[in-house]
Copies of this chain bind each other. A is one copy, B any other.
Amino acid sequence: MPAVTLAELNAANKGGFAAMLGDIYEHAPWVAERAWARRPFENVSALHEAMMATVRAEPVEERLALINGHPDLAGKAAVADTMTRDSKAEQASAGLDRLSAEEFAHFHELNNAYRQKFAFPFIICVRRHSKDSILRQFERRLHDDATSELETALTEIFRITALRLDARIETTQRLKVHGHLSTHILDTHRGKPGGGVSLELFELSRSADPRLIVSEITNDDGRTSEPLIAGRPLPIGRYELRFHMGAYFARLGLPLADPPFLELIPIQFAIAEPEGHYHVPLLVTPWSYTTYRGS
């Protein structure tokens, strides 16, 4: 779908409005249609609130129908290729489109158990999670009661639709749905930024090898040209930053041990707030280092 502006949305008639936003709620164009009556919208946040209020105003049967319009995670819809384009992209973002046979079977089992208990599919805003985190949520939420799961399902739908609105609408006043992960190398041996250092960010998983997210070389300011992750929620999960300091200190021509005391510096950390700002810097000499959650 092409991006639209708030001005276009506010000026549209009901049909035009629904044509532009009818797919924000999965298989539920009525949300856009009824929210239209609440226009004009001062900003995306007001629009998002209006659409959520529309859903909350419905009786429980309608809300359940909305929930039931969502596909299973890594489910048959994925295999049969009958998901909406948005759902497909979202599930791919967490790697749910490249599961091993074993993982696929595990998801299938969890989906069935969940549906059997609650009579609706497990819904989670997958862009805010890594695969491990989705599984952990799945296992936790299976133990909840039906009332709170209904609430949780709606909360997750609203997170999904907030991200879809953010992607659809051109505006300077964006929703706070994105996080930010960055790093910085400070060479405290020389009192200068550590430039020209290779580094990688991996996503860690209990059941699979680390997955490379980004590979970068620091600039003269000891930073990467772009944040490690930005412009999207930070997937909840565990990560490892690897700093290749050996080559850096060798280039400086310092008197080093052989082999050098520090070469590859791995830093493992977890992201728990998808919309948070995480700065994970490295203060380093050939003999010491410090890291911390900065901001």
Where the two chains meet, the residues of A that have a C-beta atom closer than 8 Å to any C-beta of B are 133, 186, 188-193, 221-222, 236-238, 257-266, 268-270, 272-273, 283, 285-295
Q: How far is the CA of A171 from the CA of B283 in the complex (A)?
A: 37
List 18 A-B residue pairs with CB atoms under 8 Å apart, sorted by A's residue number: A188-B188, A191-B261, A191-B288, A191-B293, A192-B295, A193-B295, A222-B295, A257-B270, A258-B272, A259-B272, A260-B270, A260-B272, A262-B268, A264-B268, A285-B285, A288-B292, A289-B290, A289-B292
Q: How far is the CA of A264 from the CA of B186 in the complex (A)?
A: 22
CB-based contact A188/B287 at 8 Å: yes
Q: How far is the CA of A290 from the CA of B289 in the complex (A)?
A: 6
How near does chain B come to A136, taking the closest CB pair, in angstroms?
Answer: 8
How near does chain B come to A257, taking the closest CB pair, in angstroms?
Answer: 4
- Within 8 Å by CB of A287, from B191, B257, B287, lies B191
Q: How far is the CA of A288 from the CA of B279 in the complex (A)?
A: 12
CB-based contact A288/B283 at 8 Å: yes
Given contacts A261-B270, A262-B269, A272-B261, contact A292 B188 (CB under 8 A): yes
Q: How far is the CA of A170 from the CA of B257 in the complex (A)?
A: 33
CB-based contact B268/A268 at 8 Å: no
Please give 20 more A-B residue pairs, beta carbons under 8 A apart, in addition to A188-B288, A257-B273, A289-B291.
A133-B259, A188-B188, A188-B287, A189-B189, A190-B287, A191-B261, A191-B287, A192-B295, A257-B270, A258-B272, A259-B270, A261-B269, A261-B270, A261-B272, A262-B269, A262-B270, A263-B268, A283-B288, A288-B291, A288-B293
Q: How far is the CA of A288 from the CA of B292 in the complex (A)?
A: 4
In the complex, residue of chain B having the shortest beta-carbon distance to the beta carbon of A258: B272
Q: How far is the CA of A155 from the CA of B191 in the complex (A)?
A: 27
Interface centre among A192, A222, A269 (most CB of B within 10 A): A269
Residues on B with beta carbons closer than 8 Å to the beta carbon of A262: 268-270
How near does chain B come to A94, taking the closest CB pair, in angstroms?
Answer: 16
Q: Which 5 A-B pairs have the closest CB atoms?
A: A191-B287, A288-B292, A257-B272, A188-B288, A259-B270
In the complex, residue of chain B having the shortest beta-carbon distance to the beta carbon of A221: B295
Residues on B with beta carbons closer than 8 Å to the beta carbon of A133: 259
CB-based contact A186/B292 at 8 Å: yes
- Within 8 Å by CB of A191, from B236, B266, B286, lies B286
Given contacts A263-B270, A266-B266, contact A292 B283 (CB under 8 A): yes
Q: How far is the CA of A156 from the CA of B193 in the complex (A)?
A: 30
CB-based contact A288/B290 at 8 Å: yes
How near does chain B come to A179, taking the closest CB pair, in angstroms?
Answer: 13
How near does chain B come to A58, taking the closest CB pair, in angstroms?
Answer: 32
Q: How far is the CA of A286 from the CA of B294 in the complex (A)?
A: 13
How near does chain B come to A238, taking the closest CB pair, in angstroms?
Answer: 6
